[in-house]
A and B are shown apart, each in its own frame.
Chain A
Amino acid sequence: MPWNRKDLITIENLSVEEIEQIFKVTAALKRTMGRSVKKLPALRGKTIVNLFLEPSTRTRIAFEVAATRLSADVISLDMAASSTTKGETLRDTAQNIEALKADMIVIRHTAPGSPLYLSRLLRIPVVNAGDGSHEHPTQALLDCFTLVEHLGSLKGRRITILGDILFSRVARSNIWAMTKLGAEVTVAGPSTLVPHWFTSMGVKVSHNLRTALADADAVMLLRIQHERQTSTHFPSLGEYTSMFGLNRTRAGWLKPDAIIMHPGPINRGVEIDSDLADSGQSVILEQVTNGIAVRMAVLYLCAGGSPEAMLKSAPAS
């Protein structure tokens, strides 16, 4: 099956075959990152607008690097520079960008569903770089790509996600991706941030940190999302750290070959001890490198998934 999507909005509606196709392209692109000439001509002449209406450094830079490596021209708009501060609606901003003949929009927005809304409104491809606490599909893809690199197939593998699950789009996208790929996912953390109803997403909910860690082939730590919490879910960060932070003792419960992941930004000394973040079990920086390759793959595939391209049955030889 050729790729036939112009947008990447959610992991929820991707098929396993599509995820595997993204991983194949990612692996091929990752290999090009070792070349002395890292730039590929695939998106030469295309303009990509990064519309980041919520603060982000890492994801925005990763998308900028990915687009640049594919030879696209990139314009990044952040909240302060955008006319939304002058009262312009998202719809108008996006339609203006399309009228400027941009070829693709990468959007981060505080409102869940805004990328989907734009993808239906616009003819050009839209890539979700995080929408509120809904989804962050490229983060889940890079996390799962990193897991597959370390563990091989995820079928039957046990992965524990520890931390603020309730407010985390990274957790939601990862739960979709990991369970689609056959992994057994456990979510763990304080019960106020890991409510029982997550079982409806096909994962185990655990408040027993010891077993949640001891069974895991990989543990993913999530930051406490202060900015999205509207009420107090635990007494203090210090208490969170003492109850759920990953320290030497708790890391000792892990299997010796289990890997430690974190989507960043890490809060050293809060959800993870500083020396563990830098230990041999940590793959946090590999995740960053893979983040470039995954985003290159997503931009490449979505750029090629235009309706015009889909009308033709076979590629030119």
Chain B
Amino acid sequence: MPVRKTIDSPEIKEALTTMVATLAERHGQTDSLIVVGIADGGVELARRLTKLLDQALGRTLETGVVNVAFQRDDIGQNPIPKQAAATHLPADVDNATVLLVDDVLSTGRTIRAAIEELFSIGRPGRVELAVLVDRGHHCLPFSADVAGFVEETDLSEDVVVNLNQNQPADDRITITSRD
């Protein structure tokens, strides 16, 4: 599979810094902010953003995970993937501001499912979305509040984000063609 583009660790680090600066500015006064990664792709990104936001805001934010498996709308049409980390929310989500985090935003179907999962547990006051890569091809009325990269991609391409918890120097975004 031919690789069209790669984005490496230094650029990713810079993008994260910019994302966090934007988020810190928006949420300096938000008292109940919960950072929630969408399993599995958004979990490590959520961890990084939380760490950087903790430093920027000078407090410790709550983090959680949502698993969208049981909110999917394509059961019987697409294969059931391996089970990812289970939904786990640390604090009461009622009236909280939830920052959903995913690695790649495309159709928005995962975001729809993640919002359903969130609302099956509580009633957040506000939900925002942060993604590392917005690759376009949105099919639902969702857009990212904060995106690290906005990439124009072809539908025949795959966008793969590798964020390595132990070796951040190996972080990489790869855009490959399936043709």
A positions within 8 Å CB-CB of B: 1-4, 21, 24-25, 27-29, 31-32, 35, 37, 40-43, 46, 70, 103, 300-301, 303-306, 308-310, 312-317
Contacts and interface: CB of A to CB of B under 8 A. Distances in A.
Contact of B109 (A31, A303, A312, A316): A316
Interface centre among A28, A103, A306, A310 (most CB of B within 10 A): A28
Nearest to A297: B83
B67 A317 contact: no
A31 B117 CA distance: 13
B79 A4 contact: yes
A40 B70 contact: yes
Given A25-B83, A41-B116, A304-B76, 15 more contacts: A3-B80, A21-B83, A24-B83, A28-B83, A32-B120, A35-B120, A40-B71, A41-B73, A42-B71, A304-B79, A304-B80, A306-B77, A308-B76, A315-B80, A315-B81
Interface string B95-135: 00000000010110110000010001100000000000000
Contacts, number: 93
Nearest to B103: A317
Interface string B40-70: 0000000000000000000000000001011
B78 interface: yes
A303 B75 contact: yes
Contacts of B104: 317
A309 B78 CA distance: 4
Given A31-B86, A304-B75, A317 B80 contact: no
B74 interface: yes
Contact of B75 (A37, A42, A312): A42
8 smallest beta-carbon distances between A and B, as pairs: A304-B80, A24-B83, A2-B79, A28-B86, A40-B70, A42-B70, A3-B80, A315-B78
Contacts of A310: 79
B80 A301 contact: yes
B87 A31 contact: yes
A305 B80 contact: yes
A315 B79 contact: yes
A290 to B, nearest CB: 15
23 contacts: A1-B82, A2-B81, A3-B79, A25-B83, A28-B67, A28-B69, A28-B86, A40-B120, A41-B116, A42-B72, A43-B75, A300-B75, A303-B76, A306-B76, A309-B75, A309-B76, A309-B77, A313-B79, A314-B78, A315-B78, A315-B80, A316-B107, A317-B104
Contacts of B110: 317
B26 to A, nearest CB: 26
A41 B74 contact: no
Interface centre among A24, A27, A313 (most CB of B within 10 A): A24
Contact of B106 (A29, A46, A317): A317
Nearest to B80: A304
Contacts of B82: 1-2, 21, 24
A317 B73 CA distance: 12
A43 B70 CA distance: 9
